[in-house]
Structures are given as C-alpha cells and as structure tokens.
C-alpha cells in the first residue's frame, strides 16, 4: 500500500529588509512572527554586501516564513511591527501546496496578486491563493 501525500494551504511570508542585517538582527526582527519555519536568504557568496559598518560577511537581505495560519490577528500585528521596523516590503498569503509522503513540498502558483500600502496590515484577509504585497 502506497502512502499518500497531503495537500492544503499554509501561510507563506517573504520579508525583504530595508538594509542587509546580520543573522542575529534578522532572527531578532522575525520574532515578531512566532511559530513559523524561518529560512534566511543569503546573498550569492561572490556578492559584496555593504552595511553601515562596512562589509557584512553574513548579511541577510530577507527571509521566508512558512507554516499554518493559527492566529490571523497575531500575524497582522507581527507584520505591522516588521513594516514599522526593518522590513522594506512583505509578501504574504495562504499558498497552496502538495506535500509528498516523504516530506517534499511543491508550492502551487499564486492565483492572484494584490498590492497594498504598508499601513494596510489590518485589512489582510488571508484569502487562499492570494498573495498580498505590502510596500
């Protein structure tokens, strides 16, 4: 008997910082959104990234957070905190996925994109398949 995979929707958040942060700074900033799997983006090793103190060897330009949407109000508050602080833009939405029995995840394309002002976090509806860009 073969094992079946799982399909569903999870929150998918991409954060772009206004300046490259150290790993510690990025991790601290992302604590505003607790309970999600965090993947810090790293620039290409050959890229030269300059911060306020000169070159930043482990510069983090952004991050991706994924996981189930448990508390929409807490997510709205966390996104508002990020956008008032170190985030330049945030892309957020409930993204469809197919997860195989061995744990591999395939993400489905977004059905629709919406662009809103960075102050519109309270208006986020987290509609399935819709990506909202807050800039």
Mean pLDDT within 74-80: 97
Residues 84-123 have pLDDT tens digits of 999 999 999 999 999 998 889 899 999 999 999 999 999 9
Does residue 51 lie in a domain region? no
Q: How many domains does the chain have?
A: 1
User: Is 1 within the bounds of a domain?
Assistant: no
Distance, CA of 120 to CA of 108 (rounded, Å): 25
Contact present, 70 and 35 (Cβ < 8 Å): yes
Say if 68 falls within a structural domain.
Answer: yes
Domain assignment present for 50: no
Q: What is the mean pLDDT of the chain?
A: 89
Structure confidence at residue 59 (pLDDT): 87
Measured CA distances, 123 to 72, 78, 115, 128, 133 (Å): 11, 14, 12, 15, 12
The answer to whether the pTM exceeds 0.95 is no
Judged on CB neighbours under 10 Å (0-12, 13-18, 19+), 112 is: exposed
CA distance 81 to 134: 13
Give the pLDDT of residue 95. 96
CATH number for 32: 3.30.70
Of the listed ranges 21-35, 42-56, 65-79, 81-95, the least confidently predicted one is 42-56
Quick one: pLDDT at residue 80? 97
In a domain, 78, yes or no: yes
Contact 60, 20 (CB under 8 A): yes
Within a domain: residue 90?
yes
In a domain, 49, yes or no: no
Token pair of 118, please? 């960075």
Per-residue exposure over 70-108, b if at least 16 CB sit within 10 Å of its own CB, e if not: eeeeebbebbbbbbeebbebbbbbbbbbeeeeeeeeeee
Q: Which helix (H) or strand (E) holds 52?
A: none
**18 belongs to a structural domain:** yes
User: Which structural domain range is residue 65 located in?
Assistant: 6-44+56-134
- Residue 47, SS3 per DSSP: coil
């Amino acid at each position: 008997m073969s094992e079946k995979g799982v399909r569903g929707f999870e929150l998918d958040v991409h954060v772009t910082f206004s300046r490259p942060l150290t790993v510690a700074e990025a991790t601290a900033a992302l604590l505003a959104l607790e309970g999600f799997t965090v993947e810090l983006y790293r620039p290409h090793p050959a890229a030269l990234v300059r911060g306020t103190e000169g070159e930043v060897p482990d510069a983090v330009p952004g991050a991706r957070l994924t996981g189930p949407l448990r508390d929409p109000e807490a997510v709205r508050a966390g996104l508002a905190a990020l956008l008032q602080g170190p985030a330049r833009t945030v892309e957020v939405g409930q993204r469809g996925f197919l997860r195989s029995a061995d744990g591999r995840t395939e993400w489905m394309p977004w059905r629709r994109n919406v662009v809103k002002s960075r102050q519109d976090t309270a208006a986020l509806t987290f509609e399935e398949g819709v990506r909202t860009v807050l800039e």
